[in-house]
Structure 1
C-alpha cells in the first residue's frame, strides 16, 4: 500500500477547467506534469503566476534575494482579520524588527526550558485518549487538541482546559471552517484592486479570538509589572526589546504575534501529527519500531528526545509527503527572468513544498513512504536542496526547532501507549485548507497497549 494522494492528477487542464477543479481542492487540481516541471506559468486576464519547482530558483527567491520577493499581499489580506500585522504577514523593516524580538525566545537553549510544558501536554493527551481506547476516532480532532494544549502551556503556562484557552480553541475551530484556502488569491483571476471581503462570521470569530488573546496578554503584563510572571515564551517575548531600537512589542503587536503563534504552532503541528499517525496505521511494522524506541522516554528527560531517531525520521518523512503548508506565494518587486522567461513586476511566484517534496527528477520513489531515505545519499542531498516544510532562508519558520521536538515527542508518547489501526473504507484524501488536511477526517481505531 502507498500513502494516499489527492483524488486526481490531471494530465492537462485548461485555465477554466483548472479553476473548476481548484474550487473543489487545490491539490487535486494540479496536473501531473507539475511533479516533473522545473517551472510552470499560469496566465489570467489580470496577472501572472509562476510556480517554481527547481531548487536553484527556490534558493534565489527564499535565500539569496528574499527582499526582492516579499510575501504576496494577496495572501495577507485573507488572514488579516485574525493576524493583523503579525510576523507571518509583514515584510521589509517591520518584519525584520519583529523577528529580532521573537527569535531569541525560540533559540536552542529555550527549547529545553519549554520541554516540561510539552511533556505535560503529551501526558494529558495520553490520559484523554485512554477514555476512547477500543473506539474509532477522528485523529485530526485529537491532534488539534494536543497541539493547542502545547501552545498554551508553552506560551502562557496554562493548559487547554483554562477558561480563556478553551474559548480561543473553540473559536479558532469555527474560524478555520469558514476560512477560504490560504493561497486561493494567488490563482484566482481577480485584479489586485478588488477589495477582499470577509464573511460576517469570519470577522466576528477573528475579533472574539483577538479579544480573548488580549485578556491573556493584559493579565501577563500585570504579572510582569509585579515580577510574578512565569518564565515562559509569552514573558520572554513581551520583555525582549528590539536590540536596535530598545522598544518592546506594544499590546496590539503582541496580540498579532500570539495569534500567529497559535495558528502556525497549532494548525501545522496538528496536521503533521495526524498524517503521521495514519502512516503508522498504514505501515504497522514502523509503528512497532517507534513504539519500542519510545521506551527511551522512561524518565522523560529533554536529552531523551534527541535519541528518538526513528520517530524523528518518520515525522520528517510525514512532513515531506504532507507538508502542512503546501504552497507559499511571493511577489516579484522587479522584472525578472527565470529559465529564459520574462517575469513581470508584480507577478506571483508560487513555491510549492507539496510539489518540491515529490519532484520526480530529484527524489528516489517520491510518492513512497520511506523513513530510511534520510540516511541515503539521495535523501541527504534532497534534504539540503528540496525539503522546505518550514520554508527556508531568513523567513524560515521561527518555531521549526520547536516543532521538531514537539512532533516526535507527541508521536512517541502516543505510540508507546496505543496502537493505531486502519478502518475499512476510510482512506483519507489530502486537501488544502489552512493546512493540508483530510477531506473527511483521518479515522483510525485506537487500541491501548
Structure 2
C-alpha cells in the first residue's frame, strides 16, 4: 500500500490557472517533474522563482550563507495580521535578537522540564478518546490531534490545561483562523507598495484580532505574576525573564504576544498535522501500530520517553511523507549562479521539504511508508542531504527537539489504549493550507485496545 499524495498538475498551465491552484492547494499546483528535478524555474510578470532540490544548493542557502538568503516577505504577508513581527517572519538584527532570547528556553537540558506537562496532555487525550468511542466508533483524528497539541502548548507555555476558559477560547479561534487563511494572499504574487492594503479576508483579520486580544490577556497576566514572584517556571516565564545577552533587554508585552502567536501556530498547528498523519499511517499499517502499543505499554512516566524508539521512527517517517510545512521561501539579496543558471537579485528561492523528502534520486522507494529505513545508513545519508521537516541551519525551528519528544509521546500514549483502523472509502487526501492537512479530515475507526491477559480495555492511566 502506498500512502496518498496529491495528484500533480499538468507540466504547463497559464499564470492565472497556476495562481488559482496555488491559493487553493500548494501541493497539487506543482508538476510531477519536481520529484526528480534538481532545480526548476517559474516566471511571472512580477518576479521569478526557483525550486532548489539539489542538496548542495540547500546547504548553501540554509547553512553556509543564510544571511544572503533571508526569508521572503511575500509569504509572510498572509500571516502578518496574526504573527506581527514574530521570529517566524523577521530577518536580520531583529531576528537575531529574538533568537538570542528564545533559544535558551528550548535548549536540550531544559527540554526535560516540559516532559511532565506533555505526559499529562497525552494522558488527558487518551482519556478523552476512550470516553468518546465507547466500544468503538468512527472518529476524526485531526480534531483529536489538534486538541492534544493545543493542550501541550498551553500546559508547557502557561501551565494551564486546555480546559481553562481562555485556553479553550484561543484554541477555537485558532481553528477558525486556520480554516479561513490561505497559505498565500495576493501579495505573494504581485509586488505591492507598503502603503497598499494587503487584501486579507475580513474574517481572517477579525480572527487574528480576537486571537491576539486573548494572547495579550495571557501575557499581561503572566507579566504581573513575574513581578509579584508568583509565576510558574514554564516556557513563558523563562522566555519573558531572559534578557538579550547583548542589550540586557527582555521582550516587551507586545513583542511577547507576537512570539506566543507563532509558538501556538508552529507548536500546535504543525504538531497536530504530524500527529494526525501518524495516526492514519499506523491505522493503514497495523503491524507498526501494534509495535508502538507494545513498546508504550512498558513506559510508566515522562522520563522514559527515550525508550519510545519505534514510535520515534514512525514519527520521523511521518514527517518525511507529510512534512507539516511543505515549502519555505527565501529571497536573493544579490545576483547568483546556481547550476550554471543566472539567478537575479530579489528572486524567490523555494525550498520544498515535500519534494525533497520524496525525491526519487535521494530516497529508496520514496513514496512508501517504511519506518525501518531510519535504522539504515542509506536513510541516514538521505536525511543528511534531504530531510528538513524543521528547516535547517541557523533558522532551524527552535522547538525541533520539543516536537520530536511530543510527537512520539502523544502517539504512544494514545495507541497503547486505542486501536485504529482505516474507514473504507475515506482515504485522506493531503492538501496544504497553513500546514499539510487532509482535505476532508482523517477519519478512522477507533476501539479500546484489549490487554492480552485479561481481554479488558487498556486504561489511559496505565
TM-score by length of 1: 0.97
Structure 1 unpaired stretches of 5+: none
Q: 1:20 to 1:216 in 2, by over 3 A?
A: closer
Q: 1:185 to 1:404 in 2, by over 3 A?
A: farther
Task: Return 422-431 or 177-186, whichever deviates more.
Answer: 177-186
Q: 1:196 to 1:232 in 2, by over 3 A?
A: same
DSSP-derived class of the 1:181 partner: coil
Contact 1:3 1:367 in 2 (8 A): yes
Q: CA deviation at 1:182?
A: 4.7
Residue 358 (structure 2) aligns with: 358
Paired residues for 1:2-401 under 5 Å: 2-6=2-6, 8-10=7-9, 12-16=11-15, 17-133=17-133, 134-182=136-184, 186=188, 188=189, 190-193=190-193, 195-298=197-300, 300-302=301-303, 304-401=304-401
Residue 410 (structure 1) aligns with: 410
Determine the C-alpha separation between the residues in 1 that align with 2:361 and 2:47.
29
Q: CA deviation at 1:183?
A: 8.3
Q: 1:55 to 1:195 in 2, by over 3 A?
A: farther
Determine the C-alpha separation between the residues in 1 that align with 2:299 and 2:69.
43
CA-to-aligned-CA distance 1:292-337 (integer Å, 9 cap, x gap): 0112312x132x1111111000000000000000000001011111
DSSP-derived class of the 1:49 partner: strand
Determine the C-alpha separation between the residues in 2 that align with 1:28 and 1:76.
21
Q: CA deviation at 1:77?
A: 1.4
Q: CA deviation at 1:177?
A: 1.0
CA-to-aligned-CA distance 1:188-226 (integer Å, 9 cap, x gap): 3x2343642112221111111111111111111111111
TM-score by length of 2: 0.94
Q: CA deviation at 1:9?
A: 2.1
Task: Return 257-266 or 193-202, whichever deviates more.
Answer: 193-202
Q: 1:183 to 1:390 in 2, by over 3 A?
A: farther
Q: CA deviation at 1:10?
A: 3.8
Determine the C-alpha separation between the residues in 2 that align with 1:286 and 1:196.
46
DSSP-derived class of the 2:12 partner: coil
Task: Return 222-231 or 253-262, whichever deviates more.
Answer: 222-231
Q: 1:447 to 1:185 in 2, by over 3 A?
A: farther
Contact 2:267 2:399 in 1 (8 A): yes
Q: 1:274 to 1:237 in 2, by over 3 A?
A: same
Determine the C-alpha separation between the residues in 2 that align with 1:441 and 1:297.
30
Contact 2:186 2:198 in 1 (8 A): no
Q: CA deviation at 1:15?
A: 3.7
Structure 2 unpaired stretches of 5+: 450-462
Contact 2:23 2:183 in 1 (8 A): no
Would you say how many aligned residue pairs link Structure 1 and Structure 2? 444
Contact 1:132 1:446 in 2 (8 A): no
Determine the C-alpha separation between the residues in 2 that align with 1:22 and 1:155.
34
DSSP-derived class of the 2:420 partner: strand
Q: CA deviation at 1:355?
A: 0.2
Contact 1:74 1:192 in 2 (8 A): no
Contact 1:183 1:329 in 2 (8 A): no
Task: Return 86-95 or 376-385, whichever deviates more.
Answer: 376-385
